[in-house]
Structure 1
């Protein structure tokens, strides 16, 4: 069985205007332990709802969602689910609860009833994992946006979750902060084998994942490796979805009669295609 498994998952919100509003329509999705998955889609497609379902913050109104074989609908296993899947939200200020960085990172393990000596060890290791150990005695509110988000990630690591779900963690950050957070995510996935589910609207972040899942209107539209997904430019555009800038450039050049012979995912790949094109002329 997969580490996270959505089986025909449906979810409804209660609204005053229309009563029940279904935002997920029978989602089937499997995520293996150790994967790095980017979850894409425009606003309102159900991405954030999926994120909250993954760690039991929300519960399916239809179907089942299993985490490491645990049904999230089993109320007696809520803590077990959250020990396995941690959630990092868009605004780090909403997740920082203490006046000192190391105290903030200790908050999650304390709530799980971890012994003090073990908490000390976990906090130090988590801060080192996100390169924030030197800031352990600093006040969180004095940190940059990227640093705050890395502290929020450290708080999840200290809970020793095997999966981290990040819901647009770089949306409020500058380019430097975005790069810091992405480097941290990739390092945790590569070196610690932590399963990563990254919800993002930045295509240059999505191409760094091993797998891309595209959602549209509460359903899964596409699922595959970044190169397979982003090669389908026309299909993505029909659903008002973006592609990486390098892919977009080559798509437009091809439409104008200049075929570089590929669908690059990065600037570097685009440059290589230009060089190869020059060599053949």
Structure 2
């Protein structure tokens, strides 16, 4: 498959703060390649570098060393900045920080207007984007009256209206309740599945990564694990050493296995976990 985002020896160091604090190295020669059309979850504890990595994917931050490529475009080239950000849209943790208008449809139209898109095309993009996130009936509503999940879907619609090829969600579900998280995840999975939009999900919720094509675990600014969610989450002890826990289902299977029960660790869903336990206790293979 074609490459959407590629990093080569990506390094980033935050400058020293006032008061004598030393520089902080957030990324250390990260080598990463994300395929176009894939759904990738990036995990890690606070300070692991996952959000810093996300901000490099559409040039919110620029490398202090190495290179980031977006479909072959060097993000550090000022002449390519607009094109990089058109191709990769970002959705941040707090939707209130991204909503700029008093009416939902005006907020979604904001980015295309700034790109100089013709009015007729903007109208089409706004309608299409709101339909894609299931918010078309709220087009004339005031954003501040919406729930957290609805606001985040409006923020995603604003990104979709730019017609990006990739959406990066930087802890975009962290402030939401379980219903809001499910709304947002359902939306981005639909965009990935039906429109082929590449999705990079930065999260600390292990359960959110279960449905991804690929799970990447960051630690101290480097890639510590990289593989399918089943393969990564089965490495329970390694995850614990990094300050992370596997999904509840895998943790349960691990505890059973540690007590001498012959049971696999690659069952992630509740149904798979239940089946594995039934088979283990019934003696089936």
1:88 has 2:83 as partner: no
Which residues of structure 1 form unaligned runs of 5+? none
Which segments of structure 1 move beyond 4 Å, counting only runs of 4 or more? none
CA distance in 1, matches of 2:55, 2:266: 33
* 1:10/1:255 CA distance change after superposition, 3 Å: same
Residue 32 of structure 1: aligned partner: 35
CA distance in 2, matches of 1:241, 1:175: 20
CA distance in 2, matches of 1:261, 1:167: 32
Q: Deviation digits for residues 128-162 of structure 1, max 9, x if unmatched?
A: 00000000000000001100000000000000010
> Which residue, 208, 223, 227 being the options, matches 2:226?
223
Q: Does the 8 A contact of 1:262 with 1:273 survive in 2?
A: no
Residue 216 of structure 2: aligned partner: 213
> Which residue, 264, 271, 274 being the options, matches 1:271?
274
Q: Does the 8 A contact of 1:34 with 1:195 survive in 2?
A: yes
Q: Does the 8 A contact of 1:10 with 1:24 survive in 2?
A: yes
Shift of 1:197: 0.2
TM, length-normalised to structure 1? 0.97
CA distance in 1, matches of 2:219, 2:269: 24
Partner SS, residue 199 of structure 2 = strand
Shift of 1:259: 3.0
CA distance in 1, matches of 2:61, 2:170: 14
Shift of 1:30: 0.3
Residue 14 of structure 1: aligned partner: 15
TM, length-normalised to structure 2? 0.96
Please give the residue correspondences for 1:95-244 in structure 2 after superposition, counting only pairs within 5 Å.
95-244=98-247
CA distance in 2, matches of 1:262, 1:26: 32
Partner SS, residue 3 of structure 1 = strand
Shift of 1:266: 1.7
Partner SS, residue 168 of structure 2 = strand
Aligned residues: CA RMSD: 1.1
Which residues of structure 2 form unaligned runs of 5+? none
Residue 59 of structure 1: aligned partner: 62
Aligned residues: 281
CA distance in 1, matches of 2:109, 2:247: 38
